[in-house]
Structure 1
Amino acid sequence: MASAPTDLKTPTDLSSNETKSAADALNGLLADAFALFLKTKNFHWHVSGPHFRDYHLMLDEQAAEIIGITDAIAERVRKIGNTTLRSIGDIARRQTLIDNDREYVAPAAMLAELRDDNSKLVQRIREAREAAEAAGDTATSSMADDWIDQAEKRAWFLFEASRNA
């Protein structure tokens, strides 16, 4: 990611060298959040079977929670003086979570895949938090704690819902 043009350079008291690493980590996290949001919505739209209603509603709630953190992540990147994602292509280049384009996915496989992806997102958030802490960005570090808690809760719900799926 190139440094921000002068007119997009938000003033900050944090070191630009350190915030560059934090911004890169946050942009990677943002890409994975968008990828997980879309996968969660995909499974929400295509879930089937005897637990349809429960899974359909749970996945919709989880997708809303995931998309809810994306603006906060992007705004943290801007507040620390950097620029953020601009396109689907940018997301695709940075995401680490694997898309699922299969025509049919069994409900139990959906829940397991989303559980694992939320657990991977927790790791990505921890990495972003560590980079933010190294940059002295305590605000991002504090917000990351909430994002971790949310992702862990989603993984837990998916685990519990899949016990007899």
Structure 2
Amino acid sequence: MKPFEIDAETGLLIPSTNVASLKKGAVVIKDNFKFQQTPLASTSDKDPSYIGYMVHNLGNGEIILQLPQAYLLDTMTLLLHNKKNHVFSYIIDVSVDKMYWNQVFWEFEVTGKRDISFDSQPVVFVKITSIYCSPDFYINRVYFECFAKTLLETEIF
């Protein structure tokens, strides 16, 4: 499988593998975790795509991830901290310039691994805003990745 294709119309890379990783140059540019490193904090030497722990307080901002360049994306995977009795509601927006955001996904009262699909579009910034968390006010994410599922499906058929 090729790691990416090039979109003929836009000239953007269409990745078939995760581009939201320290190894690929992605960084967390906004969150509320005081010990978060500017580059994606990898706490696992065995998994270079692991971005570490991201957190923000409910009603107090969001998490913004910056990819190293614009990619044509349509898929994300998000692992919400899977604590007993915890459920989360969140919104995902994407942007190429941090001025104009496009809401691509939202879910209410969920937990665990979330597979997210949306219409293929250019993405440089990903904003995750939590709107509900039970039973506390901290929204925790322990894994996040971005890629283009449409490329994977094209190669299968």
Query: Which of 1 and 2 has greater Rg?
Result: 1
TM over 0.5, yes or no? Answer: no
Normalized per residue, the structure richer in strand is 2
- Name which structure has the greater RCO, CA cutoff 8 Å, separation 6+: 1
Normalized per residue, the structure richer in helix is 1
Give the alignment's TM-score, normalised by structure 1: 0.27
